Chains A and B, each alone.
Chain A
Amino acid sequence: MSETITRRLPAWALRTNGAVVLIFLYAPIILLVVFSFSASRIPGQWGGFTSEWYATLFDDSRLQRTISVSVKVALVSTLLATVLGTMSALALERFKFRGRKVVDALLYLPIIIPDVTMAVMMLMFFSQAFDLLDSVFGIGLSKGFATIVVSHVAFNIAFVSVVVRARIAGMDATLEQAASDLYATRWQAFRFVTLPLIAPGVLGGALLAITLSLDDVVVTQFVAGPGSTTLPVYVFSLIRKGVTPTINAVSVIMLVASLILVAGSVGLQRANASRGRQQLRTPGGTS
């Protein structure tokens, strides 16, 4: 089979390349964790084991405020994005309606748009909107928690929608017809058949939205207000001023948090896949 070609290409070369790539991908993360326990004030140098940098985090109220803002933003924006994204996924996959193509296209744009452009867009939008509200209605609004949430929802709807759509598309469409044949109303069919079957997709989309919200730097930086910064934006500004061991510790915590989310997502993918395998198993064969 393929051994003919790979035997000529030195197998060791391929294996070495593979190992190098994996080391390249994981070494930075591992080293970061290691050095976060280093007592040296110069980041990147080993100065003996210590966990003092983690201890200082508990006293850093500014940091804790940004963590709280990040978490709140993530939860609120994910909730909104998941509901809206699921609704649009259902609409696009199960219904024909006028303007379908427009909605479809509009929901793909946020996935490809560069985050710098998105940040610029939202900034300009809010500045214009606030000017308008001020001059016409006399309402004075400013950037803050709400603007961050609104912006995060704006790009997360699209991601949730893509994930849920994939799940719906993989679902047997005749199941809903069977439910109807068995006296279920539209709502009952949705509640007892559709919803349980797309739930893994909805959860997967929600997890993706949380991750993207917690990760976001540029968009948030542009639309955040003075009192409300998120963790990544705060850390980003700290890093530019200078690297400190405390930042190391914070980074590791962020790393662990995102790894937990990854684990959850991978676990969900497996549940997804095995449920999907169950569904797709075609009838046939011997009794």
Chain B
Amino acid sequence: MSVGIAEAKRERSERRRGFLLALPSFAYMVLFFAVPLVIVLVYSFATRTSTGSTALSDWNLDAYRKLGEPIVRNVVVRSVILALVTTVICLVVAYPFAWFCAHQRPTIRNLLLIAVMIPFWTNFLVRNYAWRILLSNGGPISSFTEAIGLGETNILFTKTAVVIGLVYAYLPFMILPLYASIDRLDRRLIEAGRDLYGSGSQTFRRIVLPLTMPGVIAGSILVFVPSMGAYVTPELLGGGKETLLGSYIVTQFLTARNWPVGASLSFVLMAVMLVSTIVYFRSGGKNL
């Protein structure tokens, strides 16, 4: 056959091979991921009947309108504030730690980073449960504060407990991107800053902080986003007294049986995630 035809043929058969190779996972993801996602979107326009089942016939925006109601707004605002507090605490704690790591010898540095990651790799439920034990009435922390004369500590089932749990869960997500961006700092810029400004805090504010901003943004998003949608941690440590977004969505399905509202909230949550991820990539997070 002529070479031109052979060339085209090879190209086509390459394409076909690639397509066939990707097909099984693609088909699976369409059926068991894309379709479910679409169904959620569809359900968010459905109506909740009086018996608690869902009628798909009347399409409306009721479920989305309900999002504007005080109950839901409170839930969302509470979740956002909690996520923000968690993020700030993580930032304040992680930055010095990441700085410290970046200035150690490579062996120690790697050890520290692995040490930070190992708890993260252990079972998530168990990690939350550990705090449940620690913070419980009569638990070790309470005994400790009693022993040093501060009286009992009953932090469990408060927002503080939830924040502690969230910080514990997501601290590594803040440490690693910060470390990556601090590691990239050109030390000579810092020295130049010391020459110019003379004081450490000025140098930090005007040179170090702006240069490590990509790491700050990436870490913040990586902490804020999951914190907003957290479910297990608030359930175990917050006791469900003050409902957060994750729990609220779950109750729509399991107890309140208002699937349309649950769907619309899930969808909104996912939209927030998507936007944040785009911001993360745009701010160069991927290049860290």
Residue ranges of A at the interface with B (Cβ–Cβ < 8 Å): 1-2, 4-6, 8-9, 13-15, 17-18, 21-22, 24-29, 31-32, 35, 42-45, 84-85, 87-88, 90-92, 94-100, 102-103, 106-107, 109-110, 112-117, 119-125, 128, 150-151, 153-154, 157-158, 161, 186, 211, 214-215, 217-218, 222, 232, 235-236, 239-240, 243, 247-248, 251-252, 254-255, 257-259, 261-262, 265-266
Nearest B residue (CB) for A240 = B235
Nearest A residue (CB) for B13 = A186
Contact A17 B19 (CB under 8 A): no
The answer to the question of B85 belonging to the interface, with a C-beta cut-off of 8 Å to chain A, is no
In whole Å, how far is A95's beta carbon from the nearest beta carbon of chain B? 3
In whole Å, how far is B186's beta carbon from the nearest beta carbon of chain A? 11
Residue ranges of B at the interface with A (Cβ–Cβ < 8 Å): 14-19, 21-22, 24-26, 28-30, 32-37, 39-40, 43, 93-94, 96-97, 99-101, 103, 112, 114-116, 118-119, 121-127, 129-134, 136, 138-140, 142-143, 168, 171, 175, 187, 190-191, 194, 200, 203, 225-226, 228-229, 231-232, 235-236, 245-246, 249-250, 253, 259, 262-263, 266-267, 269-270, 273-274, 277
Contact A121 B39 (CB under 8 A): yes
In whole Å, how far is B163's beta carbon from the nearest beta carbon of chain A? 13
Contact B19 A117 (CB under 8 A): no
* A210–B215 alpha-carbon span in the complex (Å): 30
Contact A258 B229 (CB under 8 A): no
Given A92-B22, A115-B229, answer yes or no on A211-B269 (Cβ-Cβ < 8 Å): no
Inter-chain pairs besides A21-B94, A44-B138, 5 sampled, C-beta below 8 Å: A5-B203, A8-B200, A95-B17, A116-B245, A217-B231
Given A2-B187, A248-B133, A259-B122, answer yes or no on A17-B96 (Cβ-Cβ < 8 Å): yes
* A123–B267 alpha-carbon span in the complex (Å): 14
* A1–B29 alpha-carbon span in the complex (Å): 51
Nearest A residue (CB) for B103 = A2
Q: Can you name 16 A-B pairs with beta carbons within 8 Å?
A: A4-B194, A14-B100, A22-B116, A25-B168, A28-B127, A32-B133, A43-B136, A84-B25, A97-B15, A99-B26, A117-B269, A124-B36, A217-B231, A218-B246, A252-B126, A265-B121
Given A107-B29, A121-B36, A254-B123, answer yes or no on A84-B132 (Cβ-Cβ < 8 Å): no
Please give, as numbers and ranges, the residues of chain B lying within 8 Å of A117 by CB-CB distance: 40, 229, 266-267, 269-270, 273
* A236–B171 alpha-carbon span in the complex (Å): 23
Please give, as numbers and ranges, the residues of chain B lying within 8 Å of A6 by CB-CB distance: 103
Contact of B132 among A27, A239, A254 (CB under 8 A): A239
Contact A154 B133 (CB under 8 A): no
Please give, as numbers and ranges, the residues of chain B lying within 8 Å of A186 by CB-CB distance: 17
Nearest A residue (CB) for B32 = A154
Please give, as numbers and ranges, the residues of chain A lying within 8 Å of B127 by CB-CB distance: 28-29
In whole Å, how far is A79's beta carbon from the nearest beta carbon of chain B? 14
Contact A18 B125 (CB under 8 A): no
Contact B130 A28 (CB under 8 A): yes
Please give, as numbers and ranges, the residues of chain A lying within 8 Å of B200 by CB-CB distance: 5, 8-9
Contact of B40 among A91, A120, A252, A265 (CB under 8 A): A120
In whole Å, how far is A263's beta carbon from the nearest beta carbon of chain B? 9
Contact A24 B22 (CB under 8 A): no
Contact A17 B40 (CB under 8 A): no
Contact A125 B35 (CB under 8 A): yes
Contact of B36 among A27, A116, A122, A236 (CB under 8 A): A122
Please give, as numbers and ranges, the residues of chain A lying within 8 Å of B18 by CB-CB distance: 91, 94-97, 100
Nearest A residue (CB) for B208 = A5
* A136–B25 alpha-carbon span in the complex (Å): 27
Please give, as numbers and ranges, the residues of chain B lying within 8 Å of A154 by CB-CB distance: 28-29, 32-33
* A266–B39 alpha-carbon span in the complex (Å): 39
Contact B22 A88 (CB under 8 A): yes
* A92–B246 alpha-carbon span in the complex (Å): 34
